[in-house]
Chain A
Amino acid sequence: MLLVPCPHCGPRNSADMSYQGEASSRPDPSSTTPSQWRDYLYMEHNPAGWLKENWYCSSGCRRFFTVERHTVTSEFREPPLPGSKTALPLSKTTETGADTDQQGGES
């Protein structure tokens, strides 16, 4: 079971959530090339490390939120604030049974 830290409801079973994919910034449609637009729509980075993701709390507060998840350990942390390069302290919620000492580098 994956415990996803909803900012409103607290840690919840991922079955109560809806995964909305990797969080990336939308390019400007007026200046982007078709190749860049295709990459934004269909290509995901899929790193073995920290990944910024969007989730929807479909059975709880019914709000979208963004978290960072380590794709190897499924550990969660809050994403860095805009303008900051450092992530916020690690969340206490991790995947049940995951080895929290196993942490990868920044992606």
Chain B
Amino acid sequence: MHTSIPRGCVSVAEPEFRSSITTLAAAPLGAPALTDESSLTKVSVRAQVGASPLGVDFTRATRRDGVLIVGIRPDEWLLLGNANEVETLLATTEFDASVSRIDITHSRLCLRLTGVRSASALEKVCSLDFDDMMFPDGATGSASVAKVSSDLIRDDVNDEPSYLLLADRSFGQYLYDAIHDATAEFANISS
């Protein structure tokens, strides 16, 4: 994100984004596709419990002006999108003085798992119920994924089940490998 530098402050260059996932593996044929989307701009918006500065409820996610707004905790929302769209949304939304907005792009990793068997693959490493009735498109939840506290968002792509997974960036390669391993058995299974 580009923010104006107050007068008198030292200007520092915008750090180049580097993903914590350094080794990507090819998905087995037919298995859910796992991609690294860590470079998405992520902004955490925090307010008091009960407030709804972005009009999105806890455990729900909705897309507005290209930005995915996620009610990730009772008092926290996450904005996901490209930098310009997120910045525009923040600039056009009126916030109370007590609402904080923090860019957490560099502290969180983001993986996307897409495919008809992606729910089955996730259920191997997470205790949440990913059935369509319990976790439909636009649902969010937080749980342990392969022993790592993670945030999960159902964000279908072209009517195909797709899940975004966010966690601390230091777990990047481990989490990528664990989920990639979970998807391997679903190769060449279409339904």
Contacts and interface: CB of A to CB of B under 8 A. Distances in A.
B73 A12 contact: no
B149 A59 contact: yes
A9 B142 contact: yes
A58 B143 CA distance: 8
Interface residues of A, number: 12
Main secondary structure of the interface of B (DSSP, over half): strand
Given A15-B127, A16-B127, A60 B142 contact: yes
Interface in B34-92: 58-59, 73-74
A59 B74 contact: no
Contacts of B127: 12-13, 15-16
B141 interface: yes
A49 to B, nearest CB: 29
Interface string A1-39: 000000011001101100000000000000000000000
A90 interface: no
Interface string B124-164: 00010000000000000111100001100000000000000
B144 A8 contact: no
A61 B149 contact: no
Nearest to A58: B149
A15 B73 contact: no
Given A61-B74, A62-B73, A63-B74, A15 B144 contact: yes
A59 B74 CA distance: 14
Interface in A45-86: 58-63
